[in-house]
Chain A
Amino acid sequence: MRNLTGLLFAGGLGFMLLSIASGLDFGAPPMLVGEAIQSVAPQETGATNIVTSVVLGYRGIDTLGELSILFAAAAAAGLVLGRRHTTAGTLTEGGFVLRYGGAMLFPLLMTIGFYIIFHGHLTPGGGFQGGVILAAAFFLPLLARPGARLHHGMLSMIEGFAGSSFILIGLVALAEGEAFLQPMLIQDTLGQLVSAGTLPLLYLAVGLKVGAELAGLLSHLAQTESEA
Chain B
Amino acid sequence: MNSMVVLPLVLPLFGAFLLPIIMRASVGVGLWVGPAILLYGCWILGNQWISGTAMPFSLAIGGFAPPMGINLYVDSLALLFALAVQLLGLIFWPFKLDPETARRQALMLLLVAASTGLALSGDLFNLYVFYELVAVATFGLISASSTGSAYAATIRYLILSGIGSVLTLLGIALIYSQTGTLNLAHLAQLAPEQLNNKLGLTAFLSILIGVGVKAELFPVNTWVPEVYATAASRVSAFLAGLVSKLALLIILRLLVLIFHQQEAIQVMLFLGILGVVSGELAAWRAKDMRRMLAFSSIGQLGMIFIALSIPDQAGLLAVLALSFHHLLVKSGLFMLADGWGGAIENLRGAAKRSPLAAIVFILFSLSLIGMPPLPGFWAKFTLITELAAQTSPLYLIGLAVFLLATVIEAAYLFRLAALLYRPVSEEKPIDTIPKPAGVSLVSASLFGVGLLAAALFITPVGELLNHVAGQAANAELYIDTVLAGTGGGR
Contacts and interface: CB of A to CB of B under 8 A. Distances in A.
Interface of A: 17, 20-21, 23-25, 29-34, 36-37, 40, 44, 57-62, 64-66, 68-69, 71-73, 75-76, 78-80, 83, 153, 156-157, 159-161, 163-164, 167-168, 170-171, 173-174, 177-183
A157 B3 contact: no
B99 interface: yes
Q: How large is the interface on B (under 10, 10 to 19, 20 to 34, 35 or more residues)?
A: 35 or more
A156 B23 CA distance: 11
A178 B63 contact: yes
Contacts of B16: 68, 71
Nearest to B130: A65
A182 B68 contact: no
Interface string B129-147: 1101100110111011010
A40 B68 CA distance: 10
Given A33-B67, A174-B6, 17 more contacts: A21-B174, A25-B177, A62-B70, A65-B126, A65-B133, A68-B16, A69-B133, A69-B136, A71-B16, A71-B17, A76-B136, A80-B146, A83-B99, A153-B24, A163-B18, A179-B60, A180-B6
Contact of B21 (A17, A24, A66, A160): A160
B335 interface: no
8 contacts: A29-B176, A34-B180, A65-B132, A65-B133, A160-B21, A171-B14, A179-B489, A180-B6
A156 B20 contact: yes
Contact of A30 (B68, B103, B146, B179): B179
B24 A17 contact: no
Which of the listed residues A20, A66, A68, A183 has the most CB atoms from chain B within 10 Å of its own CB?
A: A68
B110 A57 contact: no
Contacts of A159: 17
Contacts of A68: 13, 16, 110, 113-114, 133
Contacts of A33: 67-68, 180-183, 186
Interface of B: 3, 6, 10, 13-14, 16-21, 24, 59-64, 67-70, 99-100, 103-104, 106-107, 110, 113-114, 117, 125-126, 129-130, 132-133, 136-137, 139-141, 143-144, 146, 151, 170, 174, 176-183, 186, 190, 197-199, 202, 488-490
Contact of A61 (B126, B151, B488): B126
3 tightest A-B contacts by CB?
A76-B140, A30-B180, A163-B17
Contacts of B19: 160
A153 B60 CA distance: 37
Contact of B61 (A34, A61, A160): A61
B371 to A, nearest CB: 41
Contact of B110 (A24, A71, A79, A167): A71
User: Which of B18, B64, B146 has the most A CB atoms < 10 Å from its CB?
Assistant: B64
Given A20-B202, A71-B110, A79-B140, A180 B3 contact: yes
A173 to B, nearest CB: 8
Nearest to B487: A179
B64 A24 contact: no
Q: Which of B17, B107, B177, B197 has the most CB of A within 10 A?
A: B17
B198 A75 contact: no
A32 B63 contact: no
Contact of A167 (B10, B103, B170): B10
A24 B178 CA distance: 7
Contacts of B170: 17
Contacts of B178: 24, 30
Contacts of A57: 62, 64, 69
Given A29-B177, A32-B180, A60 B132 contact: no
B69 A59 contact: yes
A58 B114 contact: no
A32 B179 contact: yes
A72 B10 contact: no
B130 A72 contact: no
Nearest to A83: B99
A183 to B, nearest CB: 7
A72 B132 CA distance: 10
Contacts of B21: 156-157, 160-161
Contact of B68 (A58, A83, A168, A183): A58
Nearest to A209: B17
A173 B6 CA distance: 12
A171 B104 CA distance: 25
B199 A180 contact: no
B144 A79 contact: yes
A183 B190 CA distance: 29
Given A159-B17, A179-B63, A69 B129 contact: yes
Contacts of B202: 17, 20
Contacts of A64: 10, 13
Contact of B107 (A25, A76, A156): A76
A34 B177 CA distance: 11
A133 B62 CA distance: 29
Given A37-B68, A179-B62, A170 B10 contact: yes
A80 B177 contact: no
Contacts of A32: 67, 179-181, 186, 190
A24 B68 CA distance: 23
A80 B151 contact: yes
Contacts of A31: 180
A172 to B, nearest CB: 12
Contact of B64 (A44, A72, A80, A83): A44
Contacts of A163: 13, 17-18
Contacts of B136: 69, 72-73, 76
B140 A59 contact: no
A157 B177 CA distance: 41
A59 B126 contact: yes
A76 to B, nearest CB: 3
Contacts of B143: 76, 79-80
A161 B17 CA distance: 7
A102 B146 CA distance: 36
